[in-house]
Each structure stands twice: as structure tokens, then as C-alpha cells.
Amino acid sequence: MKRPVKSLPAGRARLVIVVLLLAFSVMLLRDIYLQLLDQSTLRQQGQMRYLRSVPLPASRGIIMARNGQPLAVNVHAVTIWADPAILDKHHDQWAALGRVLHLSRADFARRVASGGADYTYIERQVAPRIGNALQKLQVPGIYVQNTSRTYYPLGAVTTPLLGLVDEAHQGAAGLERGYNTWLRARPGRELALVDGHGQIVHVAKVQQLAHFGHPLRLTINPQMQYWAYITLTRSLHHFHAKDGSAVVMNVHTGQILAMVSAPSCNPNALGACTNPADYTNNAVHQAFEPGSVMKPFVVAAALASHSVQPDARFNVFHPLIVDGYAITDDVRHHILSIEKILKYSSCIGASKIALKTPEQIIYHMYRSAGFGRKPDLGFVDATAGVLPDWRNWSLARHATIALGYGISVTTLQLADAYAAFANGGYHMRPELVMGQAPVATRIMPAWVARKLRGWLQSVAEPGGTGILAAIDGYHVAGKTGTANMANGHGGFYGHTTNATFVGFAPGNHPQLVMAVSLRGSHFKWNFGGIEAAPVFRVTMRHALQEMNVAPACQHGPIMRITIKPGENLAEIARQYHSSVAHLMNINQLRNPEDIDSGTLLKIPTPKGEKHICRFAAPLVSRAQAEIWSEGGGGT
């Protein structure tokens, strides 16, 4: 039996059709609105999700030595950054990301939250292997950007000189900071389309071009820099000094061939340079009372102003009382010439010369030589030292400023100033960047520089305070200095010193000058002739070999011999076919008896003999060195 089929009411069917048509019309109108009227808003929303502005890397300028050897270079590194909007959706991967980056989950979360809404740095300039490990995880929202970091091939040897860069690859110390505007790179930015995993699919446009840093070529000689650092560090450790510095300069151009400081640190090792003392350039940032190395400048001022004659002699047997203060010598002598005052470093003799010379004349000589003036070498906050105005000098200051007290200088200033004795009386503006023309200013007559150049050679001869600076085969000229360190309360530490040596070589035709300073040693024999002079000897020997300077001390009709015990001038004159009068004249002797055993004597070169250096650095016992370093020696 068939059931009857019921049909829907006609009104209901029409209602269903109307509802369907209305729904279709709403969808059609919505589509028209989105496609035509709200198109810009939709595109903007899409771009916010898939169009990103990402950095365009650029390399910092490299720093080179004078021979083109790199001192600071860029090596491949990666920077890790994140898009928090994407990365927030993948919290389950944060622990794995932290393990690769050696960060706890909390530290990782803090770094993600430290940046902007769509860009934050996680790590900068890390090893490429970390980037490779992150890419293997394929976590959306974490990005690996190729970049570079600074690598220093000589490590700790150049750290105080070159300085450091920070995490943003900007100069933070040394020349890196001083020349940051020249060296720094300016990264660009590009607009890139990224996929759902945050990977760049297409670069839409470059928003800002990347600018690479400029290279910087220094006057530094890498070999001299190395030897200066090694010998300075060895002396610092041996004598338990607090810190030290050394500078090597070309006396004719003012170019700095080495500038080292100790202690130092290796900037290539992670976390090695956290103590500012390890990357402070003591050669320009640290001023100290220099001691007796200032005596030649008082002599130069006295000679140039004719306050004292070159053949003047001074009685130094008794202490010199000035304003109630007694100036004494460590070793007692009787009557000394100016040469012997420098050779034995007589404080009494130097003070007497100073008191015969007007204060203004001494001040002008110091100032002209570069003391009290800040060098323009690119070191931020370099010190000028202290040179008090001569109008404020007391009588005691007038006498003791010749001894290096009441004035503070830097190691660079000492090397710079001594170059004037070596080059004939010119102050050379120090230069550290290649391509600059030398700037010379005469500060003393040529005859004064010549006199001092000869007298200062006796300092590194037997009996002189700088005997440990003597280099076999070369004449060396220089001066030792020892000053008690100020305690910051108007007094001095009893057994802690600034030990200094400044010298140049070869003595007759100087090419290089070197200043060495060690501070804070409380070693028993903490004198400039003990601590600093050997640093000069080792470094200068290698430096002269590096410059192919032959070990021939004399180039002319005069050579030198060492006086043996018991020899007299008449015997020497007969042996070398000369006369007593001629030997006295070329050696500036007043009496035939004015020769000491161990002294170098100028003699005419016998016919048929080569003009070679006859002086050899003597074998010196420790006891002799300790006596000579105090101003003893001789008979």
C-alpha cells in the first residue's frame, strides 16, 4: 500500500529561495567591498605579516701596519636576530634555541623581549657554527644574518694601541675609538618578502645603501712592535712592576714604529679584556714623574742660553741645600764636567746647572720639546702631563725640575723629545698614520744637540748608569731616570719607583729613539738602568737589524778605543801615531790625566785600517750593574 507524498507549501519554498539569494548577495557585496573598497587595508595587513625591513651588513675598515700587514681585520661571523611576533608562536622550541646559544630559557626570553615588536637582537658577531646549528632547527622567527667581527692577528701585542670594538662593532678604546668615524661601517636596510617560516623569499627594494669602513694604515713596524712588547712584558714580570710602556720612533720623520703597553689582553679570546687596565695605552694616557731623564734638557737650555759653557766643571762633593732641602747624590764624586754629570747622573751637578739658568729658559726648552702638550694622534683622553708655569716656580722647584720632579710626562713625550738630540736639534711632530708629511721645528742649536749626543753616549759606556743599554757593535746614547712614585697625599712611596730609560742609536748617526718606562716596582734595585735599559737593548738591537743598519759605529777619521787600567795618554798617542795635544783636543780634555779606566777614547784611525766600530758591550756583573745604575762606576 503506497503512502501519499506530501508536497511543501509553495510559500515555504519561496522563503528558502529568498534566504539563499540574500546570503549570496551578502557574500557578493562583501567580496566586492574587500576587492575594491578595502584593498589598501588588506595589502597593508599582508605586508605587516610577510614584508620585513631587514639589515644589510657592511664591513668595518681594516687597520694595517706600514708594510701592509693586517693588524685588525674582519672575519666571517653571524648575527642572530628574531621576529617576536612569529617566534612567540613557537615557545616549545625556545629551550632548544637556548641550548644552541648557551642561554637559559629565561635569558633567551629576556633577549626576545628586549627589542621592538618585529625585530630584536639575540647575539651579535658570534661564530658561524652557531648560525649553522640554528638553521638546522628551522624555528620560524629566528634568523641568521651573515656579518663580520674584528680579529687582531697580533693579539695582546697591539691591544692597548689599537683598542677594541663593542658588540655593535663600534670603536670602544684605542685607535678603534679615536678613528671610529673613519673606520666604522654604516649598515643598510632592505625590504624583503618572507614566507610563513620567516625565510626571505624576495627582496622588494633597498631602503638604504650599506657603506663600508675606510682602511687605516699605521706607521707601526710589526717586528719592532713584537720585540718591544715581549721585552717590556718580561721586565715587568721580572721586577714585579705595576705597568709599563715603550715607544720607538724614527728620529728624522717622527714616525712611531712601535708603541706598546703592559699589562695587556688578547681581544680574540672571549671575555679576556674585561679589565680597562689591560687595554689602556699607558704610553699616552699615563703621566709620571720621570726622574733624571730630564737632566739633558736643562743642560741644553743652559748651553743654548750661554748660562753655562760646555767646558764648565762643578764641585758635587757636598750636598746642595736649597730652601732647606738637601739635594744629594747616591754615590759621592768630587769635580765633574757636564759629560760626567750626565754619565753618573749627578743630581747636585744638574741642580747647579739649573740654578744658573733662568726659569723661563728652562720652561721654554721643556715646552718646545713637547712636554705639557697633548699629542694629536687619535687617542681620546690622551694626557698632556703637567708642566707648571715658570712664574710659579719656587727656588726648590727651580732646582729639582732638572731632576724630573714637579713635572709629569708620558713615554711618548720622552721619545719625541729625545729625538731632537739625535737629529740635530729639531722637534719632530709624532706621526702614527702613514702619508703625513714630517713637521719639524728647531728647538736648540745644532752644536748643542751635537754636544749632548756625544755626552749621552758615555751613559751607556762602562761606568755610566745606562751600561745595560749597551749594544754590541753599536754606539748607544741615552739617559736613565728613577723617581719615587707619588702617593697621592703630597708625599712619595719609599721603595716604589718610576724606572725609565730613553736612548737612541747608532750613537754617531742616530736613526731610532726609544723610551721605556716601568711603574710601581718595589724590587730592591728598581732603577731605570736596571729595569728599563735592558728593554731598550734587546728591542733596539732587533730594530737596527730590521732596518739593516750595519754595526759600524764610526764612519770617518775617528774611532774609539776602551782605556785599559794603567794606560796613560802619552802611551796611547805613541801607539796610534798621534800626539797628546791632538788626543786632548778631539776628546775635549783639560788635562792628560782626565781619563778613566773603561772610558771610550776617540783616536785617529791608523792608515790602512777600516773605519769600524771598536767598541764592544762589556760583560757586566750584577754587582757592577747595580753600582752603575745608582750613579757610581768610574774611579
Among all residues, which ones are annotated catalytic?
292
3-state SS record for 4-42:
CCCCCCHHHHHHHHHHHHHHHHHHHHHHHHHHHHCHHHH
Question: In terms of C-beta distances under 8 Å and separation of at least 24 residues, what long-range contacts does 607-610 make, across chains too?
Answer: none
Amino acid at 180: N
Residue linked to cell 576587492: 35
d(CA 403, CA 400): 5
Residue pair 603/578 in contact (Cβ under 8 Å)? The answer is yes
* Backbone dihedral angles phi then psi of residue 405, each to the nearest 5 degrees: -110, 145
CA distance 583 to 388: 44
Measured between alpha carbons, how far is 42 from 227 in angstroms, rounded to an integer?
68
What phi and psi values does residue 455 have, to the nearest 5 degrees?
-65, -40
| CA 387 – CA 224 distance, rounded (Å) | 31
Cβ atoms of residues 290 and 497 within 8 Å:
no
Give yes or no for a contact between 466 and 490, defined as CB atoms under 8 angstroms apart: no
SS3 content of the chain, % helix, strand, coil (to 5): 40, 25, 40
Element (H, E) at 268: none
Instruction: Tell me how many degrees the CA angle 245-249-254 measures, rounded to the nearest 5.
Output: 130
Contact 592, 563 (CB under 8 A): no
Backbone φ and ψ for 121, nearest 5 degrees, come out as: -80, 140
Measured distance between the N- and C-terminal CA atoms of the chain, rounded to whole angstroms: 153
Q: Measured between alpha carbons, how far is 243 from 256 in angstroms, rounded to an integer?
A: 21
Q: What are the b/e assignments for 311-333, b being 16+ CB within 10 Å?
A: ebebebeeebebeeeebebbeeb
DSSP string, 217-238: EB---HHHHHHHHHHHHHHHHH
63-64/216-217 β-pairing:
parallel
Q: Is 589 exposed, middle or buried (0-12, 13-18, 19+ CB in 10 A)?
A: middle
Q: How far apart are CA 212 and CA 59, in angstroms?
A: 5
- Residue 144: strand pairing partners: 80
Q: Which residues pair with 120 in a beta bridge?
A: 82
Q: What's at 115, amino acid-wise?
A: G
* Helical ranges in 51-155 per DSSP H: 84-87, 94-101, 105-113, 128-137
Backbone angles phi, psi at 106, to 5 degrees: -65, -45
Question: How many angstroms separate the CA atoms of 141 and 295, rounded?
Answer: 69
C-alpha grid cell, residue 600: 771610550
Please, what sign has the CA dihedral across residues 294, 298, 304, 308? Answer: negative
Hey, what's the cell of 194?
618572507
Joined together, the cell numbers standing for residue 65 give: 701596519
